[in-house]
Amino acid sequence: MKRSDFNAVSTGALNKQLTVATLFVLAVFGILILRLWFLQIVSGSTYRTKSESNRIHLQDILPFRGMIFDRKGEMLVGNRPSYDLYVIPEGVQDRGQLVRELNWLTGIELKQIERKFDEASPKYPFKPVCLKKDISRGELAVIETQRFNLPGVMIKIKPQRYYVFKTLASHLLGYLGEINEVQLKSGQYPANKQGDLIGKSGVEWKWQSFLNGIRGGEQVEVDAAGRKLRVISKKRSIPGANVYLTIDKALQSIAEKALTENKGAIVALDPNNGKILALASSPFFDPNLFVGGIDKRTWQKIISSKEYPLQNRALTGQYPPGSVFKLIVAIAGLAEGVIDPEEELVCKGVYTLGRQKYRCWKKYGHGKVNFHKALVESCDVYFYKIGKRLGVDKIASYAKAFGLGKTSGFDIGQEEPGLIPTSQWKLKRFGIKWQAGETISTSIGQSFVLVTPIQMANLMSAVFNGGILYRPQVTERAGKNGTEKFYEFSPTAKKVKIKDEYLELVRSALIGVVNEPGGTGSRARLKDITVAGKTGTAQVVSLKKVKDLENNDEIPYRFRDHAWFIAVAPADKPRIALAIIVEHSGHGGKVAAPIAKKMIKCYLGVRR
Amino acid sequence: MFDRRLIQHFDWILLLILLLLAGISILNLYSATYAVRDIGGSQIFIKQVYWYLIGFAVFFFMTTFNYNVLEQLAYPAYFVTIALLVAVLLVGKVTSGSQRWLSFGPISFQPSELIKIAIVMVLARFYSRRGGHQGYRLRELWQPFLLIMIPCILILKEPDLGTALLLVAASFCVILFSRVNWKSLVILVVLALSVAPFVWHQLKDYQKTRILTFIRPDMDPLGSGYHINQSKIAIGSGQFWGKGFLKGTQTRLNFLPEQHTDFAFSVLGEEWGFIGSVSLLLLYLFLILWGLNIAKTSKDKLGAIMAVGIVAFIFWQVVINVGMVIGLLPVVGIPLVLFSYGGSSLITTMAATGLLMNISMRRFMFST
C-alpha cells in the first residue's frame, strides 16, 4: 500500500470519522457518569439505607414472663426450656437420609419434615427452619447422642410457660393465648407485638402488665445467605415481675381432688382479711396446652364441651343457694324482730299457702321447732313461715347487705353477680307482680335466687367475723418493692349493720348444724376443732317433677340436686371460711360436708 | 535490528494507563475476595497478579514486530480461531449451562476472546486494501458481514449473548469508520430491526428474563432482578466518598453477586464511591481517546483501522459492563475489561493493547 493513498483518506475523511467517534465516546461516558451521579449522589442515602437493612436484622429477645407463687413461696407457674428442633438447609448433606433418620429418631412424619424443608426459602440457605417445637426429653436425648450423624440439625432453646402442677388452680391462674388484632390496636398492650402470648384469663390476664416484662433486642449482621455473623448491639430483655398469691397449694390440691369426680366449685378464704386460700372449679383444664399455640382440634374440643371446662364456676357459677340461704332469712328475721328465738313453730312436713302446698325436706315433719333447731335441722316449714312474715323485699335487703346479688369485688375480676329478686325487680323484668308463693320458695333459697360460691364463702366469713364483709383477694404481692410495678395486699372491708347478738344466735345454730345430734352437717365434725356450717340442697327443677323418685340414683343426672356446704372453723376464732358446691350430687350434708372436713383438717393442721 | 527510534517513540502514556488499571484492578480484587480469603479467595487475587504479569509479557511481545506482518496473518489467524470456536461447541467444557471453554491440558481459555483480535485483523486487512472511498454500498458489505456473522452465530450457540453483541457492536464501528453509504446504513438498520423478533425467539429463557428484568427490575426483586438491584444498592450506597477499602458491606457479606468478575465495578463503586468510580471511568475514557489518537497518528490505514477496532472493543466492553452494573443495560455476562478477574479476557486485551502500542511506536516509520 502506498502512503500517499492513505494520506488522501486520513487527512480528510478519517479525521472527520475520528472526531465523530470522539464525540460519541464523550457522550456515552457522560451518560455513564450522570447515571453514577444519580445513583451515588442523588439517591445515595436511600441506597445506603437499603444496604444497611440488607445487612442488619433486628431480632427480638423475649423477656422471661414473671413467675407465680403460692402463699408459701411454692412456684405454681414458671418457665421451662422448650427444645425446638431446627435444621439449617445449607448444612444438610443428604436430605433424603436426614429426613428418614429424623423420622426414625423422633417419629415426626416424613411428609411433615419434607413439607418444612420445602417451605424454607432457597434464598436463605443458612436460615434455620423449625421442624418441631418443644420436643420431648427423650427425643432430645436421642438427637443429642446422634448429633454427629445429623449434619445441619440444631436445637434451639426458648423459655416456655410452664404450669408446674398442670391442672392445679387452672381457672384461677388462667391461660395464655396469642394477642389478637383488637387487643393490639387497643393500646392496652404497649409492650406486645403480633405473635406474642398474653394472659387471657385469671391471674395471667389480671397481672399481664406486671408479668410480661420488657422485650430486648439485638441487631445482628447477616450475610446474603442469612448467616448470622455477629451481634452489632444488644439490649437485654427485662424479666416480668413475679406475682405471689394468697392461695395455699396443699389446700388447693385437696379441694381439687375432692372435685375430680364431679363438676363444682370450692372457695376457701381467711375470714380475718378476705384472702383467698383456695379457689377451685371443676372440670379442670391444663393451661400447658395453650402455650406454644394450641392446635385447632383440641381448642374446639375444649370450647364446645358441654361441661364448660374453661368456666371458673367459683366466680361465675350462678347457682340457687338452697338451704344455705336460710342464714340470710334467719338474720333478717332476727333483725326485723319477726323471729323470737324461743318461739316454737310446728312443722308437719308441708306448708299450705292458698291452694299451693310447700313441702319440708323431712317428709313427716320436724314437729315443734324453735329458731336454733330450725337452722340445725334445716326445717323448711319454719323458714317458709318466717319468709312469709318478712316479705321478699326485706329478705333481699339483708341478702344485699351481705354482698349477694352483686360481684364480690374479687381482685382478679371476671365474676358474675348472681341474683337477689325483689318485687320491683320482678315487675320490671317480667311485667308481672310478685306472687306470695314466690316468697315462700325464696325463703329456702329457691325461685329466682342465684348466688356464686365466692359470695357464699364471703357471707359465711362475715357471719363469723362479726359482720365484716371483706373484699376477697388473691394477690398477696406483685412486683418488687421500690419499683414502678409494685402492688401489695391491703384488706378492704365493709361493716354490715347488724347487731352481733343476732349473728351470735346464728353462729351457735351453725355450730349445732355440725356438732349436735340431728344436725345436717355432722359429716364435717372434727374432734378437736369446732366446725360450724350449713348444708344446702339446691333443686335444679321443681320438686314436683321428681317427687316420686325418692332414691337419688333414680333421678336423671341433670335433674339431680346441687349439694352445698358452707363452713367456718374454728367457730370461736375463725381462720377459714368455705363454700363448697358439688353439682348434681344430692344432699349437701352427705357430699359437700366431708370435703369441708378434709380441707379444714388440712389447713388447720389436724392429724388423723 | 531493533530500531532505536522505537525506544524513542515508546508510548509511556499508554503504559502508564495500563499500569494504573492493573493496580486498581488488583486492589479491587483483593477486596472483592477478602471475605472468602480463607476458602480460596486469596488465590483468585494472586492468580490475577500472575495473569497481569503474563499479560504485560504478551503486551511487550506484541510490540516487538512490525504490525504490518499481521496483514498476511489475518486470514490464517481468523480461520484457526473459527476452528477453535467450532471445537468449543463440540468438545468444550460446560459451565453453568453454557459451553465457552476449551481445555488444553491444564490450560483452559475462551476462543471467543481470541476472535476479537482476529476480527480486528481481518477487517483491517479488508478495508486497508480499498483506497479512498466515498462510502461502501450494501453489496460491497457482504464480505465483512459474513466475516462477522460466522463467529457471531458460533458464539450465540455457546450461548454467550454478551460476547456476540459485543462482536457486532465493535465490528459495526469499524465498518462505520471505514464509511458506509447512508442509504445502505438505513437498510441495514431496518434489516436488523426486522430480524429482532426472530432473534428474540432464539434466545434462551434466562436471556429473555434478563432483558425483561432490565426493563422492569422490580418485577422479581429476589429472582432475576436480584443481581441488578444488589449492584445498584452497592454502588448507590457508596455515596460520594465510598465506604472505604474492605468496608463495603454489600461486597463483604456477599449480597453482591459475581463480585470478582461481572460485578467488580460495583465493588469499587461501593468502597470508593462516586470519586472512585468516576476516576476509573475517566481512566478508561483516557485510554479510549488515546487509542483514537493513535489511530489518527498511525502511519497507515491498516494501523488506523486496527487501532479503531481495538478501541471499539475496549469501549463497548466498558460501556456494556458498566451500563449493566449501574442498571442502564440488561444483564449480559460481560466482564469489565482489564478490571474483572479472568485470564482469557485479560491476556487478549493486553495483546490488543500491545498491538496498539505497536502501532503507536511505529507511527513515524514509513514502509515503502
Grid look-up 344455705 returns A324
Give phi and psi for A359, each to the nearest 5: -90, 155
Interface test with A, best of B237, B271, B285, B301 (most A CBs within 10 A): B237
Q: Position of cell 318485687?
A: A423
B333 compared with A13, residue with greater pLDDT? B333
**Maximum average pLDDT range among A239-248, A349-358, B154-163:** A239-248
Please report, as a single letter, which amino acid is at residue A503.
Answer: L
Structural domain includes residue B15: yes
**Contact A18/B300, CB-based, under 8 Å?**
no
How many Å separate Cα A482 from the centre of its chain? 28
Q: Which of A35, A40, A222 sits opposite B273 (nearest CB)?
A: A40
Specify if B117 maps to a domain. yes
Choose from A541-555, A593-607, B338-352 the range with maximum mean pLDDT. Answer: B338-352
More confident residue, B61 or B95: B61
Q: What is the pLDDT of residues A522-563, one digit of tens each?
A: 898 888 899 999 999 888 765 544 455 455 556 677 778 889
The answer to whether A310 touches A317, Cβ cutoff 8 Å, is no
pLDDT of residue B233: 92
Of the partner residues B129, B240, B250, the one whose CB lies closest to the CB of residue A44: B240
CB contact under 8 A, A51 and B250: yes
Does B250 contact chain A (CB < 8 Å)?
yes
Min distance A22 CA to chain B CA atoms (Å): 7
* A/B interface, count of CB pairs below 8 Å: 149
Residues A75-84 have a mean pLDDT of 91
A491 reaches B (C-beta below 8 A)? no
Q: Residues near B281 by Cβ (< 8 Å), separated by ≥ 6? A: A29, A32, A33, A36, B318, B322
Q: Is B302 on the interface with A (CB under 8 A)?
A: yes
- Dihedrals φ, ψ of B208, to 5°? -65, -45
Decide if A267 contacts A568 (C-beta within 8 A).
no
Q: For residue A202, which of A415, A405, A53 has the smallest C-alpha distance?
A: A415
Q: Is A308 left (phi over 0), alpha (psi -120 to 50) or beta?
A: left
Angle (CA) A598 A600 A603, round 5°: 110
The mean predicted confidence, pLDDT, of chain A is 87
Instruction: Verify whether the Cβ–Cβ distance A40 to B292 is below 8 Å.
Output: no
pLDDT number for residue B368: 39
Residues 6+ apart with CB under 8 A from B151: B81, B82, B85, B112, B115, B118, B119, B167
- Which residues lie across from A158 on neighbouring strands? A82
Q: Give yes or no for residue A2 having a pLDDT over 50.
A: no
User: What pLDDT does A1 receive?
Assistant: 39
pLDDT at residue number A244: 96
Q: Is A278 exposed, middle or buried (0-12, 13-18, 19+ CB in 10 A)?
A: buried
> A594 pLDDT exceeds 70?
yes
Note whether B319 and B277 are within 8 A (CB): no
Which A residues 105-164 touch B at CB under 8 Å? 123
Please judge whether A32 and B323 are an interchain contact, meaning their C-beta atoms are less than 8 angstroms apart.
yes
Band (B9; pLDDT cuts 50, 70, 90):
confident
**Crossing angle, helix A436-443 and helix A392-401, to 10 degrees?**
40
Question: Residue A228 forms beta bridges with which residues?
Answer: A222
Distance CA A286, CA A306 (A): 17
Q: What is the pLDDT of residue A329?
A: 94
Specify if B367 maps to a domain: no
Within A107-180, where are the H helices? 110-119, 137-145, 170-173
Predicted pLDDT at A553: 59
pLDDT band at A3 (very low <50, low <70, confident <90, very high): very low
- Interatomic CA distance for residues A454 and A404, integer angstroms: 10
d(CA B269, CA A36): 9
Q: Looking at the partner chain, which of B249, B254, B278 has a beta carbon nearest the beta carbon of A36?
A: B278
Predicted pLDDT of residue B366: 59
C-alpha distance from B322 to closest chain A C-alpha (Å) = 8
| Chain B residues 87-126 with CB within 8 Å of chain A | none
* Choice among A110-124, A261-275, A388-402, B64-78 with the minimum mean pLDDT: A110-124
Residue closest to B36 by CA, chosen among A88, A225, A89, A232: A225
Which range in A144-148, B286-290, B293-297 is most confidently predicted, on average pLDDT? B286-290
Q: Closest CB to B319: pick one of A6, A28, A36.
A: A28
Asked if pLDDT for residue B110 goes beyond 90, the answer is no
| Amino acid identity, position B361 | M
Asked if A549 has any chain B CB less than 8 Å from its own CB, the reply is no
| pLDDT at residue A7 greater than cutoff 50 | no
**Is beta strand A562-569 parallel, antiparallel or unpaired with respect to A576-582?**
antiparallel
pLDDT for residue A172: 94
Q: Is A73 left (phi over 0), alpha (psi -120 to 50) or beta?
A: left
Alpha helices in A15-149 (DSSP H): 15-36, 44-55, 95-106, 110-119, 137-145
CA angle A279, A210, A267 (to 5 degrees): 5
| C-alpha to C-alpha distances, A354 to A298, A381, A437, B92, nearest whole angstrom | 54, 15, 9, 115
- The reported pLDDT for the residue numbered B329 is 85
The answer as to whether B290 is a domain residue is yes
Residue B27 located in a structural domain: yes
Say yes or no for a CB contact (<8 Å) between A224 and B255.
Answer: yes
The model's confidence at residue A502, banded by pLDDT at 50, 70 and 90, is very high
Who wins on pLDDT, A69 or A541? Answer: A69
Look at residue B294 and tell me whether its pLDDT is greater than 50: yes
Is residue A16 within 8 angstroms of chain B, CB to CB?
A: no
- Pick from B129, B176, B326: CB nearest A35: B326
pLDDT at A131 over 60: yes
Q: Do the chains contact at B296 and A29, CB–CB below 8 Å?
A: no
pLDDT score, position A557? 74
Q: A402 φ, ψ to 5°?
A: -95, 20
Q: When comparing pLDDT for B77 and A152, which is higher?
A: B77
Q: Residue A178's Cα: distance from chain center in Å? A: 15
Q: Tell me the C-alpha distance between B191 and B10, whole Å.
A: 44
* B177–A21 C-beta distance less than 8 A: yes
| B28 within a domain of the structure (yes/no) | yes
**Residues of A designated as active site:** 323
Cα–chain-centroid distance for residue B303? 19
Residue that the C-alpha cell 325418692 belongs to:
A550
Residue of A6, A36, A40 best to disrupt the B interface, most CBs of B under 10 A:
A40
Q: Position of cell 312469709?
A: A388
Q: Do A51 and B235 touch (CB under 8 A)?
A: no
pLDDT tops 90 at residue A463? yes
Helices (H) and strands (E) in chain A, counts: 24, 23
Chain A partners of B182 at a C-beta cutoff of 8 Å?
none
Please compute the mean of the pLDDT values over residues B319-325 and round it to a whole number.
93
CA distance B104 to chain A (A): 34
* Residue B314, C-beta contacts closer than 8 angstroms, at least 6 positions apart: B284, B287, B288, B291, B337, B338, B349, B352, B353
For residue A19, give the chain B residue with the closest CA. Answer: B292
- pLDDT greater at residue A92 or residue A455: A455
Which of A4-13, A392-401, B58-67, B264-273 is least confident? A4-13
Range ranked top by mean pLDDT from A357-361, A551-555, B67-71, B318-322: B318-322
d(CA A106, CA A100): 10
Q: What are the φ and ψ backbone dihedral angles of A194, each rounded to 5 degrees?
A: -55, 135
Q: Give the residues across from B109 on adjacent strands.
A: B102
- In chain A, the residue whose alpha carbon lies closest to the alpha carbon of B266 is A36
DSSP state of A550: -
Take residue A378 and report the three cell numbers written for it.
334445716
| Mean pLDDT for the stretch of residues B315-343 | 90
Contacts of B128 in chain A (CB under 8 A): 1
Which of A13, A36, A52 is nearest residue B277 as measured by Cβ atoms? Answer: A36
pLDDT at residue B261 greater than cutoff 60: yes
Per-residue model confidence as pLDDT tens digits over A202-220? 999 999 999 998 988 888 8
Contact A44 B299 (CB under 8 A): no
Instruction: Measure in Å the smallest separation between the Cα of A196 and chain B Cα atoms.
Output: 29
Report A:36-75 residues touching B (Cβ under 8 A): 36-37, 39-41, 43-48, 50-52, 54-55
In percent, how much of chain A has pLDDT > 90? 46
Contacts of B326 in chain A (CB under 8 A): 32, 35-36, 39
Helix (H) or strand (E) holding A562: strand A562-569
For residue B242, give the nearest of B263, B205, B270 by alpha carbon.
B270
Of B222, B274, B289, the CB nearest to A37: B274
Q: Where are the beta strands (DSSP E) in A350-395?
A: 350-353, 356-359, 367-369
Predicted interface score ipTM higher than 0.85: yes
Contact A264, A319 (CB under 8 A): no
Helix-helix angle B343-361:B264-297, to 10 degrees: 20
Residue-level pLDDT at A293:
66
Query: Is residue B156 within 8 angstroms of chain A, CB to CB?
Result: no
- What local confidence, expressed as pLDDT, does residue B214 receive? 59
Chain A neighbours among B 163-182 (CB < 8 Å)? Answer: 173, 176-177, 179
Any CB–CB contact under 8 A between B239 and chain A? yes
Taking contacts as CB-CB distances below 8 angstroms, the residues of chain B near A226 are: none
CB contact under 8 A, B233 and A225: no
State the Cα–Cα distance between residues B359 and B63, nearest whole angstrom.
8
For chain B, the domain total comes to: 1
Q: What is the pLDDT of residues B170-226, one digit of tens each?
A: 998 888 888 777 777 788 788 888 887 887 777 777 777 766 765 665 555 555 577
Nearest to B284 by CA among B244, B320, B250: B320
Whole-number Å distance between alpha carbons of B265 and B341: 11
Q: How many CA atoms lie less than 13 Å away from B132 in the CB half-sphere? A: 12
What is the model's pLDDT at position A13? Answer: 65
Mean pLDDT of B125-147: 76
CB B131 within 8 A of CB A5: yes
Distance from C-alpha of A315 to C-alpha of A313, rounded to nearest angstrom: 5
* CA A230 to chain centroid: 42
If residue B213 lies in a helix (H) or strand (E), which one and from where to where?
Answer: helix B205-215
Interface test with A, best of B301, B362, B367 (most A CBs within 10 A): B301
The alpha carbon of B304 is separated from its chain's Cα centroid by a whole number of angstroms, namely 19
Confidence of residue A565 (pLDDT cuts 50, 70, 90): very high
| String of DSSP letters for A195-252 | T-EEE-SHHHHHTHHHHH-B-EEEEEEE-TT--EEEEEEEE--BPPPPEEES--HHHH
**B124 and B94 Cβ atoms separated by less than 8 Å:** no
Contacts for A323 with CB less than 8 Å, ≥ 6 apart: A378, A380, A444, A445, A520, A534, A535, A536, A537, A564, A588
Residues of B within 8 A of A57 (CB-CB) are none
Q: Are B368 and B352 in contact (CB under 8 A)?
A: no
Range of the domain at B31: 4-361
Identify from A29, A52, A124, A229 which residue to disrupt to test chain B contact, counting B C-beta atoms within 10 A and taking the largest count: A29
Contact A203, A412 (CB under 8 A): yes
